[in-house]
Amino acid sequence: MDGEPPVIPRWRRWAFDLVFYAGSVPIMMTVPVSALFGQKAVIAHATVWTSFYHWTLRRLLGLTVVVEGDRPIGPALYAAKHQAMFETLELQRLLDGPAMALKQELATIPVWGWAARRYGALVVDRDGSATALRTMMREARAAKADGRSILIFPEGTRVAPGETPPLKSGFAGLYRMLAIPTVPVAVDSGRLLPRQGPRRRGTVTIRFGEVVPPGLPRHEAEARVHAAINALERGQAIRAFARSPVSRRPGPAR
């Protein structure tokens, strides 16, 4: 890309912060009501929140989202790049409420953490203890049994644009245990919505890569996923990977 995207005017940033965070308070505080009606109600409640986030990004910050690639029909393991809060919310909306990996610190936040557990989040312990890993595997297996997709960030944490750390070991365990199609997801959100520095106006790309079929050797599955989630980091198209024999549907246009 030639040059830096334009910085979003200060008044737009202030308007976004005011509307999104103020609007999020009543949404979060009413989660206990939804929880009375079960997990599906909590998932629908969460989708209201993420759709509200999408609306504020588009209307107040002037950001657009482009979705590229296809994704399989039915449950899949989505392994996504993580550069900003953006993909944690936007992918919840696009993927119809997947069970999502959540770092343990967030699961302890009053109300929010309780709601995340009711939603069916997979709590991840960064220390990687055996007990925590077994718990995450059990939660992922339950989500699969319920017909839900699973969303993880296999590099383990949010990274700045250009950083491509190796995948954490938990990915290999989930890939082997779940035995469902794995879809790498590349994003370039950190270019416009960095953790530090000004937010910029432009288009965020979400690219669903070629499906990685179950049953591959660990090194091959990890290599395919790592290359695909970092395809936008290199400014290159995703390599042509072998397709798995699963039915596919086009990614939603936004």
pLDDT, tens only, 128-177: 667 777 778 888 999 999 999 999 999 988 999 999 999 998 899 999 99
Task: Give the C-alpha separation, 199 to 209, whole Å.
Answer: 27
Q: Which residues are CB-contacts of 108 (< 8 A; sequence separation ≥ 6)?
A: none
Q: Looking at residue 243, what is its pLDDT?
A: 35
Cβ count near 139 (within 10 Å): 19
Chain-wide mean pLDDT for the chain?
87
For residue 109, is pLDDT > 60? Answer: yes
The answer to whether residues 16 and 213 touch, using CB atoms and an 8 Å cutoff, is: no
The answer to whether residues 119 and 151 touch, using CB atoms and an 8 Å cutoff, is: no
The answer to whether residues 167 and 128 touch, using CB atoms and an 8 Å cutoff, is: no
pLDDT, tens only, 168-177: 988 999 999 9
Q: How confident is the model at residue 126 (pLDDT cuts 50, 70, 90)?
A: low
Q: Looking at residue 234, what is its pLDDT?
A: 56
Given its phi and psi angles, is residue 131 left (phi above 0), alpha (psi -120 to 50 degrees) or beta?
alpha
Q: Looking at residue 233, what is its pLDDT?
A: 85
What integer is the mean pLDDT of 90-107? 88
For residue 4, is pLDDT > 90? Answer: no
Side chain identity, residue 134: R
Q: How confident is the model at residue 30 (pLDDT cuts 50, 70, 90)?
A: very high
For residue 12, is pLDDT > 80? Answer: yes
Given its phi and psi angles, is residue 120 left (phi above 0), alpha (psi -120 to 50 degrees) or beta?
left
What integer is the mean pLDDT of 25-41? 90
Task: Give the C-alpha separation, 52 to 35, whole Å.
Answer: 20
Q: Looking at residue 86, what is its pLDDT?
A: 97
Task: Give the C-alpha separation, 178 to 51, whole Å.
Answer: 29
Distance between the two ends of the chain, CA-based, in angstroms? 21
From residue 216, how far is each of 90, 134, 180 by CA, in Å?
A: 29, 22, 11
Q: Looking at residue 104, what is its pLDDT?
A: 75
What integer is the mean pLDDT of 243-247? 36
